Amino acid sequence: MSLLSALLALRRDPRILRLPPYVSALCILIGVGWLLLLPLNEYSRQTYVSENAILPGQVHTYFGGSEHNIFRAYRHEVAGLAESSEEERVGKLGDIFRSSGLKVAAQKYEYTAAGRNTTGKNVYAILQGPRADATEAVVLIAAWRNMDGVLNQSGVALVLTLARYFKRWSVWSKDIIFLIPSDSTAGPQAWVDAYHSGHDPETIESLPLKSGALQAAVAVDYPAGPWGHRFDKLHIIYDGINGQLPNLDLFNTAVSIASGQMGIGCTIQRMWNHRDTYSERLQTMLRGMLSAGLGHATGPHSSFIPYHVDAITLQTVGDGWHDEMSLGRTVESLFRSLNNLLEHLHQSFFLYLLMHANRFVSIGTYLPSAMLVAVSFTIASIALWVQSGQPTEKATVGVWHSDEADAKEQDVTVVEQDGMTALISTAELKVVERHMLLPIAFVSAAHFLGLLPLYVFTRASATTLTTTFYAFATSTALLPALSAVALSRLFAPTSQQWALTACFSLLLLGLFLSALATLNFSLAILVGVLGSPLCLVPALITSTPSRTSVPSTSVAAGADTSSSHRTTSTGIGGSVANVTLYVLLLAASPPALLLAACHYWNANVGAVLAAAGTAWHVQGAWTGVVVCLVWWPAWFVAAVGVAAGGLGL
């Protein structure tokens, strides 16, 4: 009998209900600690080429000699077009491609984003492989202006030279497309959209010339002026839109050819002097995660990756002894390796974290960290669900009074099972009905409310974005308190309903983050860590004192869960604690964190939002969707609960 009584009492033991906040915090700490272990040799691996057909660096390169003179002539031609009109520039570049015996076409495009019109004209040429049947193609790109807006003089000249050079070879089993877009973001996006017939014909012209399925793309960023510039290293940029990555074999092939065959050092994530120490590995990995989490384009190659076209950008950095011929031979050897492919790159990893040009971590090693962070919200949600079903009367199992009058007042029930009998407090056996309509409606409304800032920030002009942001930040600070007052006046929610509201919000957040981790791990871990205070808020509100003698948890955790009982108002100490918690929660809000990040990196918040709006309209980046429809609604629901507790509603 004592064992059965103890087991039944354990279900509602208040000590068990105090554990979830600590378990959630432990999951977050373990998840973050897991990331900190990844740069160690025991958890990361040396990069390697999985596809045997690539044979990186196994061919002799012949680019050089007289091609150097042709390159310098083309570079002066490109420099002369710097101040020319777009039509004149495209016409001249097209004539150079035609002189090499290639088929040439052009494409106009226009985008409207952040109140600005982005227009341009791409020019491209197709080299039909002598051994090809027009079913496969690779792309060589040199944007007219790079990501910094600098004229890519030597890069464009190198592509023109390689087009003439490749035309003389009969080894090509794939078509080669030479693309020179007007810029590094909108131009490549318009071209690759039109190539796959995914464009809007009203704003983007269709391509008059096409080849086969694109197998890979390589962009060259070499902005040296008309007199050239010798570089030290190759900065290999591989980040795609929405955190997508090219097949690791393409990256490894480029590194193997550049460093192994040509003797050119390679670096990633702007780590110019990587000494392969733990701290620098960690910094490189975190930089890559931040770039992937933002989901923006990092080069002309980024637009190709969403179409399952593996692509990278080769950017020259530093002052050294390598010249354009070294870069040209690197590109030649890389294209010879891609020419060996019999099928699309598929054997190596598509989901990975790089911490050095020769070291990486695969998804199976790093994914548990994001899942641990996501499960912390689920644990907090389950705890709130259990607490919302707790009876309001205090249980008396195992507590017997010597006073006869008190003993008679105790309401107990005899429970018999398997020949055993136990006396259980009737309050322990009481079934509490959960009223879920209002919590579900409010959480749904909060997520739909997130559509408003998403629409405003993606439609506002660049000149008004800063003002719009500060107006939104002010609204974010005031709206939870106003919503708490309105809800209390109109619906008078019970503490159970407040608990269920927080429960459903945290459950959705954990669900979204666990699903997002398989699509964009970096964004999931960023939102999870920055939003981690949300899963601890209910426990912090629960700890505030109450004026009533019946133990009450709070408006968010809800021990008083009967529909006939309304939320008990907190005392002066509880109000002060909740107001303090509300202020801290405001500091952890998405607008506040965005403003802090802009201050840290010395960036203008209006320019950041304009870039985000452009990425949404042009490249389809959905980082803003996650922030406005997942993170901000979860924060808003938690803030409303805290505001209700602080106001004693």
Is residue 640 within 8 Å of residue 480, measured between CB atoms?
Answer: yes
Which residue do the tokens 């995914």 mark? 198
Fold category of 66-357 in CATH: Aminopeptidase (3.40.630)
Residue 333 has a CB neighbour count (10 Å cut-off) of 24
Q: At what angle do helices 533-542 and 363-388 cross, to 10 degrees?
A: 30
Position 401 scores a pLDDT of: 43
Residue 490 has a CB neighbour count (10 Å cut-off) of 9
Split at pLDDT 50, 70, 90, the class of 295 is very high
**Two tokens, residue 253:** 């092939």
Position 429 scores a pLDDT of: 61
C-alpha distances out from residue 305 to 135, 189, 240, 316, 616, Å: 19, 10, 6, 22, 16
CA distance linking residue 290 with residue 298, whole number of Å: 12
103 CB-contact burial (10 Å; exposed 0-12 / middle 13-18 / buried 19+): middle
Split at pLDDT 50, 70, 90, the class of 547 is very low
3-state helix, strand, coil in the chain (%, to 5): 50, 15, 35
CA distance linking residue 125 with residue 198, whole number of Å: 21
Is residue 241 within 8 Å of residue 298, measured between CB atoms?
Answer: no
Q: Give yes or no for residue 223 having a pLDDT over 80.
A: yes
Hey, which bits of 291-441 come out as E strands?
Answer: 310-322, 352-356, 359-362, 412-417, 420-425
**Two tokens, residue 219:** 């962009």
State the virtual CA torsion across 296, 211, 139, 346 in degrees, nearest 10: 70
CA distance linking residue 176 with residue 352, whole number of Å: 28
SS3 255: helix
Is residue 388 within 8 Å of residue 506, measured between CB atoms?
Answer: no
Mean per-residue pLDDT of the chain:
88
Which residue do the tokens 């429960």 mark? 503
pTM as predicted: 0.88
Q: Give yes or no for residue 403 having a pLDDT over 50.
A: no
CA distance linking residue 85 with residue 121, whole number of Å: 11
- Residues 84-143 pLDDT 10s: 999 999 999 999 999 999 999 999 999 998 888 999 999 999 999 998 888 999 999 999
Position 551 scores a pLDDT of: 35
User: Quick one: what percent of the chain has pLDDT higher than 70?
Assistant: 86
Is residue 31 within 8 Å of residue 373, measured between CB atoms?
Answer: yes
Residues 6+ apart with CB under 8 A from 545: 570, 571, 573, 574
- Residues 136-192 pLDDT 10s: 999 999 999 999 999 999 999 999 999 999 999 999 999 999 999 999 999 999 999
Position 415 scores a pLDDT of: 66
Is residue 242 within 8 Å of residue 322, measured between CB atoms?
Answer: no
Position 538 scores a pLDDT of: 81
- Residues 599-644 pLDDT 10s: 999 999 999 999 999 999 999 999 999 999 999 999 999 999 998 8
Amino acid sitting at position 288: G
In sequence order, what are the beta bridge partners of 122?
107
The structural domains of the chain, with segments of one domain joined by +, span: 24-39+368-389+435-646, 66-357
> Cα–Cα–Cα angle for 61, 263, 324, nearest 5°?
60
Split at pLDDT 50, 70, 90, the class of 10 is low
Q: Locate all alpha helices (DSSP H) within 348-413, ordered by sequence.
A: 363-388, 404-409
Position 266 scores a pLDDT of: 96
Helix H or strand E segment including 499: helix 495-516
- Residues 358-395 pLDDT 10s: 999 999 999 999 999 999 999 999 999 988 887 665 54
In sequence order, what are the beta bridge partners of 424?
413
Residue 198 has a CB neighbour count (10 Å cut-off) of 12
In sequence order, what are the beta bridge partners of 120?
109
> Cα–Cα–Cα angle for 450, 453, 459, nearest 5°?
135
Split at pLDDT 50, 70, 90, the class of 569 is very low
